[in-house]
Amino acid sequence: MKVNDVVTYAVEGSIAVITVNSPPVNALSNAVRQGVASAVETAIGDPAVGAMVLICEGRTFFAGADITEFGKPPVEPTLRNLQLVVENATKPVIAAIHGTALGGGLELALVAHYRIAVPSAKCGLPEVNLGLLPGAGGTQRLPRIVGVAKALDLMTAGSPVSAKAAKEMGLIDELAAEGQLRADAIALAQRVLDEDRPLLKVRDRTEKLDAARGKPEIFDDFRKANARKFRGFNAPEAIIRCVEATLDLPFDEGMTFERQLFNELQADSQSAAQRHVFFSERQAAKVDSLPADIPILPIAKVGVIGAGTMGGGIAMNFANAGIPVTLVETNEDALFRGLRIIRGNYETTARKGKMKPEDVDTRMGLLTGSIAMEDLADCDLIIEAVFEQIDVKREVFAKLDRIAKPGAILATNTSYLDIDDIAAATSRPDSVVGLHFFSPANVMKLLEVVRTKDTKPEIIATAMKLAKTIGKIGVLVGNGYGFVGNRILAARNGQADQLILEGATPWAVDKVLYDFGFAMGHFQMRDLVGLDVGWNPKTTSSANVREILNEMGRHGQKTKGGFYDYDENRKQTPSPVAMQVIEDFAAKQGIVRRDVSDAEIQDRILFAMVNEGARILDEGIASRASDVDIVWITGYGWPKYRGGPMFWADLQGLPTVLDRLKALEAAHGAAFAPSPLIERLVAQGKGFKDA
Ligand code: 3H9
């Protein structure tokens, strides 16, 4: 029987089976909640029914509340009211889980009286990733079923656990056979009936809470251990407070407390920012201009040219995904060094328990070293990661053109160079694309896929798909200096370099950025990367502070001195030597140093970045404002809870941004001349989100 468009009701023997089918992920939308509540009530009123099974069709059990309904007026039954219907049902309800039971989905399963899952299923409360807490009783029920410590871990990490782990911790009562969930859930329901098992309610359980009573240090230790990870985010602390409440308050009062904190988080800009990031990541994967049926080219074998830090990291991505790689260097020493470093990286990962020790050899087995580019002849994709100089790259591509098989994708990992220029060295520029990885390439999530004026659409589609295969977030960008990420970085560099000449200290600039939420300040980052990256000792001319520091042998952390001084443990202190260099250079330039406030530092750096982002958007180098946000969040450490530079600008209000830019232009010159896009959007009363 159809209950509504998304819920069906069937009775088998004495078991009612309530089936939900609301693609893509069975989110608990208005229609789903209404359908399930009405089906449960039907089952309660049906004398032929003794117990019921709640199950989903499609790829997953409920993936949570419907995020698209956030901020809209609530429609009955709310999730919490639906939960009351299920929890207080006079007949046992069995939740049957496959795919991912997430957020409100798991919270709904937690009001069922029994839970069964297939081994491949996963359970989690990922609300923290959306700047929220589990707001349908998750914070009150999870500690009652898995204990306080595990609940804190699960809810603040937000990552799901396997059904097996869930069973071990008591979250799941039984494992079903894979592919047999429906039958096994009905059988469990029948057993519950036959054995006259009680209607178990998680809310009534106290044994796990009792074990944590009188140990307030659990919470303080947890806060301390995670202080760095949680810095700046509001949701983790709210979750901890709710879990504390499970020990201090009766269940219903705990629920009220959870609701209050949930509402506060939901109304906060952090959650809006994190929801924006969730949808923007998914949006970035879509290329509007490509037909839906575009062919995806098979990538069975990959070649990487250059076994340095970048090339090695790139190769690891493919080996991790089970794709064989031929890694080419110019000589055996460099090749062996590269392969040794890769093995070392895998061994470290295995030692940390993040990889099975036997997988080290499996992955290394997928990597073949060579010093002959000819060995790349059978590769479907070849990525070049050699020295960042146009002549070197053009030479490599001319040679590749002679070696690569017809139809192979030829990719460059350049960060700044003109890829049309590189492609012109081949007879097949339409096969050339940019794949801009971020260092360390086996870790960083971002992949800028750079389309040239000639890149074939199927290559773009294949590259975007490949990004997902290797666990990256691919963002399609246009071919312009620095693409999206590094061009905005250049705008930030420009201001930071100028600010320290005008009177700010590098540590003051760094503190402003750190306090804004970046993991690291600008100059700390430069010291870490190495001041000598891209610096040429042969042509150096003391033209700026960085060159002078390099000329003094101060290349950053690796030489124990850059903008900061470093001790043996890499602990940093502001360097008086660097400060003297800055002051002397400013004097030479005729700059009279003055007090620069933190507010000025923040304004100049952030508004310069936003303005550059707008120009990039206007020029079509990025196709969506949200793509710019994703680049800076996944590649450059922009704090996730601030949603990216364009989201942040929208939050300030574009009229305010325009006013600030005009004021900054008057005070500091043309770098701040507002992008025409900002002027247009303000005139139309729009924000970047509408661009
Ligand atoms: C919550 O539950 C709050 C409660 O505690 C309290 C309430 C009072 N809603 O990721 P995919 C869309 S908060 C609406 O590409 P996959 C997604 O946008 C929620 N839409 O698939 C995409 O749309 P499109 C807690 C959603 O297989 C499509 O589904 N739950 C939702 O790689 C496919 O998604 C979460 O945070 C949603 N909840 O991964 C779970 N979820 O096709 C969030 C997805 O138009 N979801 N969509 O681009 C996920 O983690 C993944 O989507 C999932 C599937 C693992 C389920």
- DSSP letters, 458-490, are HHHHHHHHHHHHTT-EEEEEESSTTTTHHHHHH
Q: Is 578 found in the same domain as 468?
A: no
Q: Is residue 273 a part of any domain in this protein?
A: no
Domain that holds residue 534: 504-589
Pocket flag, ligand 1, residue 285 (CB < 6 Å): no
For 568, other C-beta atoms within 10 Å of its C-beta total 6
Q: Is 432 found in the same domain as 344?
A: yes
Q: Is 177 found in the same domain as 63?
A: yes
Pocket flag, ligand 1, residue 67 (CB < 6 Å): yes
Sheet containing strand 100-102, edge to edge, reads 100-102, 122-124, 161-162
Q: Is 179 found in the same domain as 72?
A: yes
Pocket flag, ligand 1, residue 63 (CB < 6 Å): yes
- Counting ligand 1 atoms within 8 A of each CB, the residue from 60, 61, 67 with the most, and so the one to mutate, is 67
Atom of ligand 1 nearest to the CA of 125: 25
Contact partners, residue 425, CB within 8 Å, separation at least 6? 393, 394, 395, 397, 398, 401
Q: Is 261 found in the same domain as 320?
A: no
Nearest CA to ligand 1 atom 43: 63
pLDDT in the model for residue 533 = 84
Q: Is 167 found in the same domain as 61?
A: yes
Tell me whether strands 432-437 and 409-412 are parallel, antiparallel or unpaired: parallel
In 49-92, where do the E strands start and end? 51-56
In the chain, the number of structural domains is: 3
Q: Is residue 316 a part of any domain in this protein?
A: yes
Angle (CA) 468-474-477 rounded to 5° is: 155
Atom of ligand 1 nearest to the CA of 133: 5
Compute the distance from residue 221 Cα to the ligand 1 centre, in Å.
32
Q: Is residue 246 a part of any domain in this protein?
A: yes
Atom of ligand 1 nearest to the CA of 67: 9
Atom of ligand 1 nearest to the CA of 64: 2
Q: Which of 157, 84, 74 is nearest to 123 (CA)?
A: 157
For 481, other C-beta atoms within 10 Å of its C-beta total 12
Compute the distance from residue 114 Cα to the ligand 1 centre, in Å.
24
Compute the distance from residue 370 Cα to the ligand 1 centre, in Å.
44
Q: Is residue 494 a part of any domain in this protein?
A: no
Q: Is 16 found in the same domain as 126?
A: yes
Q: Is residue 292 a part of any domain in this protein?
A: no
Tell me whether strands 15-20 and 93-97 are parallel, antiparallel or unpaired: unpaired
Pocket flag, ligand 1, residue 102 (CB < 6 Å): yes
Q: Is 206 found in the same domain as 75?
A: yes
Compute the distance from residue 131 Cα to the ligand 1 centre, in Å.
14
Q: Which of 404, 417, 495 is nearest to 450 (CA)?
A: 417
Angle (CA) 566-227-508 rounded to 5° is: 45
- Give 10-residue mean pLDDT values along the chain (691 residues): 97 98 97 98 98 98 94 93 98 98 98 98 98 98 97 97 97 97 98 96 95 92 97 98 97 98 96 97 93 96 96 98 97 97 97 95 98 98 94 97 98 96 98 96 96 97 98 97 97 97 98 97 94 90 96 97 96 98 98 98 98 98 98 97 98 98 96 97 97 87
Annotated active-site positions, please? 107, 127
- CATH number of residue 580's parent domain: 1.10.1040.10
pLDDT in the model for residue 225 = 98
Cα–Cα distance list, 435 to 29, 424, 449 (Å)? 38, 17, 5
Compute the distance from residue 27 Cα to the ligand 1 centre, in Å.
7
Atom of ligand 1 nearest to the CA of 68: 14
Compute the distance from residue 87 Cα to the ligand 1 centre, in Å.
25
Residue 547 · residue 540 · CB < 8 Å: yes
Q: Is 259 found in the same domain as 325?
A: no
Helix or strand (DSSP H, E) at 182: helix 181-194
Nearest CA to ligand 1 atom 18: 279
Residue at 242: amino acid letter:
C
Q: Is residue 171 a part of any domain in this protein?
A: yes
Q: Is residue 468 a part of any domain in this protein?
A: yes
Tokens at 691, concatenated: 């661009």
pLDDT in the model for residue 534 = 79
First to last CA, the chain: 46
Q: How far apart are CA 649 and CA 638, in angstroms?
A: 13
Burial 269-279 (b: 16+ CB within 10 A, else e): bbbbbbbbbbe
Q: Is 524 found in the same domain as 433?
A: no
Pocket flag, ligand 1, residue 24 (CB < 6 Å): yes
- Which phi and psi (to 5°) does residue 540 adopt? -65, 145
Q: Is residue 220 a part of any domain in this protein?
A: yes
Helix or strand (DSSP H, E) at 453: none
Burial 408-436 (b: 16+ CB within 10 A, else e): bbbbbbbbebebeebbbbbebbebbbbbb
